[in-house]
Amino acid sequence: MVSSTTTSNNKNKPIAVFDSGVGGLTVYKKLKELLPNEDYIYFGDLKNCPYGQKSKQQLIDLTADIFNYFKYEDVKAVVMACNTTSANVYDEYNNKFDYTLYPIIQSCAKIISQLPIERLGVFATSATISSGAYKREINKYNSNVKVFEMSCPGWVQIVEGNKQNDELSVELIKENMDKMLENNPDKILLGCTHYPFLLDVLSTFAPRDMLIDPAEYFANYIKEDLQSRDLLNENGGHERFYVSANPNEFKVAARMFYDLHEEPQLMNFARA
């Protein structure tokens, strides 16, 4: 599940977190709470957001420069806080770099499969749903869980545009939720890191305790793995934010969820 040739003398190297936009901050915030002494690099690929409608090959091409940039930064770990890339490009890059690679779907599936759930709904992007990654990974550990996957076109754009309270946005979210509830799920997993930004709206149409944000499971998994290999940093605490476009838009959207102090810097790649 996790690829690494990292050794314990690399504990002071930074952790990279990436997503197509602000969604990965849901994971990043949990990591900062659990591991405040780590140095972090966050990259949001706003130029190519949303990822959810792109093909597997497009995603591989777009993320190649991002993974190589993290190699240049000599990070100890890369957190794939994007479900779409976790579903579609993890296998492509697994074991290709010296840093540890943490994909959100594969890292969380075992934990989620052990919850007292018989019927699990999954909201995700079209690319994640098309890959079948959540159903496949969860049923790998517990074949008795019936998984109902549903793509949610437009949700990422709602979050990136800070439009979650607009009337049309609320209508779209309600329509998706009503359709999902027809499956009588015990829980509904928010299978895109943008979707927890919509929790307040979602909670008006379904009980809050029915909704699973995997960020906390994911952050705990990463902490436990780094700790088991003596890779926790005790002397850091710095953070840097980069985006491939629209740093001001990122800043505005990010502050809905995270107390952002650092100015996001523009970072362009040949293909990103």
pLDDT digits (tens, 9 = 90+) for 158-197: 998 989 999 999 999 999 999 999 999 999 999 999 999 9
| pLDDT of 223 strictly over 80 | yes
Is residue 108 part of the annotated active site? The answer reads no
* Mean pLDDT, all residues of the chain: 92
CA 23 – CA 144 distance, rounded (Å)? 30
Residue with tokens 């999902």: 180
Is residue 49 part of the annotated active site? The answer reads no
Count of other CB atoms within 10 angstroms of residue 176: 19
Name the pLDDT band for 151 (thresholds 50, 70, 90). Answer: very high
Q: What is 8-104+217-266's CATH topology?
A: Rossmann fold (3.40.50)
- Residue 258 has a pLDDT of 86
Q: Global pTM?
A: 0.88
Question: Cα dist. 2→164, 204, 222 in Å?
Answer: 34, 37, 10
Mean pLDDT of 59-82: 96
- Residue 117 has a pLDDT of 95
- Residue 257 has a pLDDT of 78
Question: Which tens digits make up the pLDDT trace of 9-65?
Answer: 689 999 999 999 999 999 999 999 999 999 999 999 999 999 998 999 999 999 999
| pLDDT of 271 strictly over 60 | no
Q: Are 82 and 20 in contact (CB under 8 A)?
A: yes
- Residue 9 has a pLDDT of 65
CA 103 – CA 256 distance, rounded (Å)? 25
In 3D space, the residue among 107, 84, 106, 114 whose CA is nearest the CA of residue 220 turns out to be 107
In 3D space, the residue among 51, 61, 249 whose CA is nearest the CA of residue 156 turns out to be 51
Q: Domain spans of the chain?
A: 8-104+217-266, 107-214
Catalytic residue, chosen from 49, 108, 152, 192, is 192
Q: What is 107-214's CATH topology?
A: Rossmann fold (3.40.50)
- Residue 6 has a pLDDT of 43
- Residue 82 has a pLDDT of 95
Mean pLDDT of 95-119: 94
| pLDDT of 5 strictly over 80 | no
Catalytic residue, chosen from 49, 82, 108, 152, is 82
Q: Are 252 and 160 in contact (CB under 8 A)?
A: no
